[in-house]
Structure 1
Amino acid sequence: MKSMEDYINLEQTIYQNILQNRNDILQEITQLSATELASYESIVIFATGSSSNAAFAAQPYIASKLQIPVYIEEPSFAANYMMHLNQKTLYLAISQGGHSYSTIHIVEEIEKHGGTVFTLTSDLESPISKKAKHVIGMGMGVEEMPYVTAGYSATILILDLLALELSRQMKRLHTEDYEKELDEMSKIARFLPEVIAKAEQWIEGLKEEFLTADRMIFVGYGSTYGVAREGETKITETVRISAFGKELEEYMHGPYIGLAKTDRIFFIEPHGKLEERAEKLKQFLAGHVETVYTIYADKVEERQARDLMLGVQTSEYLASLFTTIPVHLLSYKVSQWKGINLEISAYPEFDRITGSKI
């Protein structure tokens, strides 16, 4: 079985394949008429776990390109309490592995009520692929490792590309801007090996601090809010310590009061609209916790010794395509230093008892 690290190192190839084959991958949805696309006034994405985190990471880009609101909903809550379909809403469902009970259930409920939902999955032979009417393959193989890394990143890229393709089809984006966006995504793909190398060096250099952490808190905004959420998910799953992923302003409205001096706090900085706001929070935290780290998408003139600069100059909306790499590597390396075998389920009876996976 490939490790999390193996899949992280495959991301450049996966990105390049998706970019090259984007027309085939997105054909199921881009074949909708311009008139039908123009009728949609909002998008609702159903996802849970890392799929949900990826959706949040792509949300600002989708909204900016299509110029309509984008909402991310928990499938179980929506199916049981919010089943009020709107013909002017475009529905998407994401299940990378294709076995999530709640996502399968929401797809079935939408279709039973006469709605249309497009389902994104990496496994075209999975239960969700067999039940859904409209399936979008992710253009990559099935990720063997249950703690997904490449699949999470591929989901962001596909959602970004979906927004890009639809915006062009709806004539909300000029051809020249369309090509520029594609070039940016291709540039990011080329930078991935360098991003991985910088992240590995950073993690190894701070090994003792990361290894002795009792709690990690990830803070992001814009597209990196999804990265912060993924930090919470992956650290909890793999390192098995307390972890939280918060949107910048959300963290500033209460959670900061629960600070402990030994907290490890990570800012995921895309150099966007709220950068100054994040700097003010860091100034406050510096007087109350021992370690604050910033993962910068690009370079900065002044940085702290514990910070990581990835050196990729791009739009804040695209920063989530690569800023999760240090977070994924961190979760993998610390789990291995602690001797946690990620190939063996921590609780093998869980799915059997709860039925969360089909």
Structure 2
Amino acid sequence: MTFLDSMATIPEILETMVGARAARMAGVAGAIRDKGIRRVVIIGSGSSFNSALMAQPLFDQLGIAVQLHYPNQFAVHATTIDRQALHVVISQGGATRSVFDAVQKLHRHGCPVCSLTANTESPIAQAADVPVSMGCGEEHYLYRTVGVCSTVVSCWQLAMTLALENGMITHEDAASLDREMLASAWALPQVREMALAWYERHRFSLMRAQYLMFAGANDLWAVAREADIKVMEMVPLVTRGFELEEIIHGPQNAFDASGAYIVFARRGPDAQKASAIAAFLGERIGFCALVGNVGVGRRDFCFEETGERLSALEYLTFAQVMAYRLSADRGRDLTRKLNAGLADYISKEL
């Protein structure tokens, strides 16, 4: 199975998840029923954190307050525990030591825990009160793509479940969101093919880059962060992902022609800002591409998203393709770990 073959499984997996939403979230619904829980604390690192951040805008739109924490910060340093919130821990492998420590800390404070893991028999799922499957199964490659997408959908479904149980949306509203998710899932193959063609047109400019910077706002900030991780770990290449406004503060001092810049943007309140930043980077600095439905330049990757609320995975597909093609052109074997000797010094897993 190639990396692209793995990506090709994503739409069908997401369709299955959407169709099984009520069954998948039954444990969560039962745990919060009649308790008036309208706050969620989500704990995860890396791609897990980014997946939750991608889903955060939907929580907000549905009236559910959400806080995100890195597991080490929460497990070791947090002193204030919100006992009136639903606590959710995310670990695709299900054995991340710091996430497990967070579960134990929450239990010491009398807080029930919901887990999102690929395997509900994993240590973290077994320690949780409400284990929920990510729905992705076992990924063929070390560098997560299927799991990221299924985690985003799982977090969207968590938001919908809390809103339904609190009477904040109707079942008809939830069905409408389901349809939006399905439309986005089945748009991913076309975005993937378009991204492959875009990469071929710009591969030499990207291969010459000594570093990459990504930027985006709202859920596209999370996409920028995940693009950062994917290129860094798969190519590997030095990368940074910034919130759209932040990139024109301190980071702009590091702009130079040796880097390449990707700005994720859609029509709406951030479009003008994103276009202005991209224009400056492209005209005064070097290679820059706008990714979304606001691009007009020859380097831009232009596509129409299926809908503003739940289209983040369409942008993420572009980032996953770019990371894969850069890694392939640099001869990287994505089935092998780099710096595996780190485990001789410290292990992140139980």
- What range is the shorter-chain TM-score in? over 0.9
Q: Check conservation: 2:180, 2:306, Cα contact below 8 A.
A: no
**Counterpart amino acid of 1:344?**
R
**In 2, Cα distance between the equivalents of 1:43 and 1:22?**
19
Residues in 2 aligned to 1:3 and 1:128: alpha-carbon distance in whole angstroms: 30
Aligned pair 1:228/2:224, yes or no?
A: yes
Q: List structure 1 segments (4+ residues) > 4 angstroms apart after TM superposition.
A: none
Tell me, in whole angstroms, the C-alpha distance in 1 between the residues paired with 2:193 and 2:134.
Answer: 26
- Aligned equivalent of 1:307, options 289, 300, 303: 300
Q: Alignment identity in percent?
A: 25
Cα deviation 1:126-180 (Å, max 9, x = unaligned): 2212322321111231213110001001111111122123212211113433222
Are 1:242 and 2:238 an aligned pair?
yes
Q: Per the alignment, in what secondary structure is the counterpart of residue 86 of structure 2?
A: strand
Q: Pick from 152, 156, 168: which aligns with 1:172?
A: 168
Shift of 1:3: 4.1
Say whether the 8 Å CA contact 2:291–2:302 is kept in structure 1: yes
Give the CA deviation at 1:33.
4.6
The DSSP-based 3-state class of the residue aligned with 2:305 is coil
Which residue in the other structure is 1:9 paired with?
8
* Contact 2:92 2:117 (C-alpha < 8 Å) held by counterparts: yes
State the alpha-carbon separation in 2 of the partners of residues 231 and 106 from structure 1.
26
C-alpha distance in structure 2 between counterparts of 1:260 and 1:213, whole Å: 10
The corresponding residue for 1:252 is 248
The equivalent of 1:29 in structure 2 is 28
5+ long unaligned stretches in structure 1: none
Tell me the amino acid that sits aligned with residue 321 of structure 1.
Answer: L
Q: Is the 8 A contact 1:157 1:321 kept in 2?
A: no
> How far apart are 1:242 and its partner, in Å?
1.0
CA positional deviation for 1:228: 0.3
1:286 match: secondary structure: helix
Matches within 5 A, 1:327-346: 327-346=319-338
- The CA deviation string for residues 232-290 of structure 1, in whole angstroms up to 9 with x for no partner, is 10111011111001111121221111111222110111333311221222233234311
CA RMSD of aligned residues (A): 1.6
CA contact (8 A) 1:25 1:138 kept: no
User: 2:149–2:313: 8 Å Cα contact kept in structure 1?
Assistant: yes
- Deviation of 1:328 (Å): 0.7
Alignment of 1:81-120 (within 5 A): 81-120=77-116
The alignment's TM-score, normalised by the length of structure 1, stands at 0.93
Contact 1:231-1:245 within 8 A present in 2 as well: yes
User: May I ask how many residue pairs the two structures share in their alignment?
Assistant: 350
Structure 1 residues 205 and 115, CA gap change in structure 2 (3 angstroms): same
Residues 351 and 271 of structure 1: is their aligned pair in 2 closer, same or farther, counting only changes over 3 Å?
Answer: farther
Contact 1:224/1:319 (8 A) holds in 2: no
Q: Report the equivalent of 2:53.
A: 56
State the 1:319 CA deviation. Answer: 2.1
1:325 corresponds, among 306, 309, 317, to 317
Q: 149, 157, 174: which is aligned to 1:153? A: 149
CA distance in 1, matches of 2:37, 2:324: 44
Range with bigger deviation, 124-133 or 16-25:
124-133
